[in-house]
Every structure is written in structure tokens, then in C-alpha cells.
Chain A
């Protein structure tokens, strides 16, 4: 798999405090294991690296290539699935499971609460979409830190 990160995405990665090497690690691991989600020609992979769960959203329309469209991360740890609500357009590549919208238990600073996520009930696994990770959960992490303080 040839992985490309366009300059504008490199800027976004830096702005979000992520490392390009970590993003490449996420994509390469997904390519090796086939463990990622697909919607149309988009692929979404994640990997826990240190205290972060790092995501890479890639354009997989080219043969044997992945062009990183975006990357993001959250500090909260994802736990068990809380509920399954509706269908999503995502499917898991390795197992072909339909991915649903729903909620997952999230843990941060020893506090467990719920958050919206993409969920695979068959594998008990969850993914957080970019808007939720970069807006809702990022703000929630800040609030947890402030309120705990």
C-alpha cells in the first residue's frame, strides 16, 4: 500500500498536535490487518497509540494507494457498546459487518460516561467520527479536566 499525505493534510495533522508517523502507522497497520471501515471509496482506520486513539480517513479509490484525507484523535478510551440505534453507510472490511450508529462507554480521568459513536455490535468495537472527536469529545475532555480541577 502506497500512502500519501497531501500538504494541506500535513498542516491539519500538525495543527491537531498529531505526528505524521503515527498517522502512517495507523494506515499501514490497517493495510496489513485489513481491519478498517469502508464507505464508498473512503476508508477509516484507528489505532491506540500511547494515550491517544488516532484515526486516519483515507481515499482508497486508487489501486494499491491510500491518500490521507484527514486525521484526528481523542484521549477518551472507548469501552463497551451502550446501544445500537440505526444503520450507517460504513462496513468493516475484514469481516464485512454492517456498522451502526449508537453509543459507547467512554472513559476519561477515571470517569465513565456515554458518547455517540459508530459501533459494530458483533465485534463490540466502536469508532468515533471526525466531527465528534474534534468538536464534541474534545470539548468534553476540556470540561472533564476543568471540572476535575
Chain B
């Protein structure tokens, strides 16, 4: 039995309306209300009775859960599936499944700066022909082929650069990498660029097959809890620009989702004139210090550049008080909803696997109450 036999078909009436709403910020054609994207991942599997591990170990099941459960809360009409370490097995890391986490590496494989010279960036063909459970291109071909067959109206082929700095750092160990940014900056830069070049080759492989590939790239490890503004710019902003530019050269894009995860208290402003902006770009910022990044500041900084996605603290999604979610979402909506190129209400990062349904409802209810077009 295929996973598609587990799920009832997608409600086409729901999907039609959600698709119009999803398109509206990008084409200045307001429909219904502000969209809500809680970056739902393994929570979708948990909501359907599966485990976190199931979500990652059975990606077709995982992505079908995302498509299915999105209807329950009237979320996005598109499907996605990912974890934060694409492309690393191609560079030599070994990943293992965990019960309550996405796949994690068994440990770093390099320890000396000289080792980085030995790292070989796999070609597009090598990425396509890579074998093994976590081989990124075959994995995403398999997922998108499944979606194309079983949930075609939800298909958006996505290529993940994801966390260019954080994923590269795993090759040598995160603590070691942070040290290298002080003591061995040349090797640290080379490492991030080699990871980025691998992700670019992978994006081309996906764009070749599907005609386009939305790009998702973030600054996760590179945030103000770890690095100075200068270091975030050097390692993250510049490589994010390079990644998107190179992907565009290879036919990927034009949709881009920038995810500034964690604390971007002061470095946020470096992204404004440091990133590449396409006509279909969303910028999302997680936190300012310990608080959700204010949508007013997000709008003030980025509204001229892209669609802005505001954040509700992910901790609130498991706090047994739906009103906390509702009130914070209201505050963010009121500050961001008139963003010039559109606004999306999100959570600061992936909504937790055990997100409470009442809290998800509160998030969407806030979008209905304070984000309905024509009511402000």
C-alpha cells in the first residue's frame, strides 16, 4: 500500500481558495486574508498519528501529512519537506535518524584547516547519481515525483541551500568552526564556499528536472547569539547572495525564501543591501534578542525589497494558553499587515512537533480577525 492510500483526497474547493490567497501578496491582488505559514514539518506527521522519526525516515509520508494537515488549519496550499542538513552526505558526513530529531551527523570528519583543500565539490552529475538514504538530489526527486503523482496541485519543487554556514560547520564541528572564524578565517571561508557550491550544483539538478526550483536559504548558525555583525556578513550574507546569484545562473528560482533564524538583533540590516532580491522573494526573521522579531521593524527594513513574513514565538505554540499566541499574532499582524509587497504571518521557525492544535487555531484565528483584506 502506498502512502497515498492512507489519506482522503485534498479538498479542491479549499485548495482553490488557499491558492488564490497564497498568490495574492506576490501579485498585489489581495484575496481573503493574510496567509499563515507556521513552517509545519514533523508536527504534520504527529497530527496524523505518526512519529517525528516517521516524518524524516519516510519523506513521502511526511510530505503527504503536510499537504493533508494544512487543510485542517487553512494553511498554505503547497507542500514542503526538509531538514537542515542537505548536501552534507555528499561531502562525506554520515547522518543517522533519531526518534525526536531530524537526522543528525555522527560527527565531524575534518579537524585541520588543511583538510578543507581536500574537500571536493561534487558535480551536478555526481549529485544526481549519488546513492544512499540521504543522497539529496535522489531524495528530493523521489519526494517531488510522489507529490507530482499524488498531490500535484500542491507541488512546488524547492531546492534547499538552507543554512550555508551551519551545515558547512558540521563538517568540522560547530565549535571548531566558530574558533576557525577567528584563527583560520581562510579555511572557514573556503569550507562555507565549498558547501555553497555543492548546494548550487544541487539546485541546478532540481531546476533541470522540474523547470524551476524555489530556493530556501537561511542564516541560522550565523546570528547575533554567536557572531558579530561583521562575521555574519562575511560568512552568511555574502554566501547567501552568491548562492542565489549562482542558482539563478543555473536556472533555479525565481522564488526565494530567506530565513533569518534565531537572534538577528543587529545583523538584520546587513541583509537589506546584501542579498539578491527577485520578484518573488519572502524575507522571514525569527527573533530580536529573546523576543520575536518585530514586524514593524521587518516592514520598515525590507518592505521595499520583498514580501515580509513575521514571527510568533515558537515556544508559545506548546504553551497551554492559546491567547498568548493570539495576542502576539495580533500584535505582529497589526504592525506588518500593510507591508507594501505583502505580509505572511509565521512562527519564528518550524512549529514544534508537538504544537497544540488550539495554539495553531489561535494563530489562524488572529489572521482571520486582524488580517482580512478590506478590514483595515
Contact = CB atoms under 8 A, between A and B. Distances in A.
Interface of A: 76, 82-83, 85, 103, 106, 108-116, 131-132, 135-137, 139-140, 143-144, 147-148
B251 A135 contact: yes
Given A139-B254, A140-B254, A143-B280, A131 B249 contact: yes
B169 to A, nearest CB: 26
Interface in B255-308: 255, 273-274, 276-281, 304-306
B254 A111 contact: no
B254 A143 contact: yes
Contacts of B23: 147
Nearest to A109: B27
A83 B273 contact: yes
B278 A148 contact: no
Interface residues of B, number: 26
B28 A110 contact: yes
B26 interface: yes
A72 B351 CA distance: 44
Given A110-B28, A132-B248, A148-B27, A116 B254 contact: no
B254 A136 contact: yes
A55 to B, nearest CB: 16
Contacts of B255: 143
Nearest to A110: B28
A147 B27 contact: yes
Given A82-B304, A116-B248, A147-B26, A136 B273 contact: no
A83 B279 CA distance: 15
Contacts of A109: 27
Interface string B210-247: 01100000000000000000000000000000000100
Contacts of B29: 147-148
B341 interface: yes
A109 to B, nearest CB: 7
B253 interface: yes
Contact of A136 (B26, B278, B304): B278
3 nearest CB pairs, A to B: A113-B279, A147-B23, A140-B254
Given A111-B28, A147-B23, A147-B27, A135 B253 contact: yes
A80 to B, nearest CB: 11
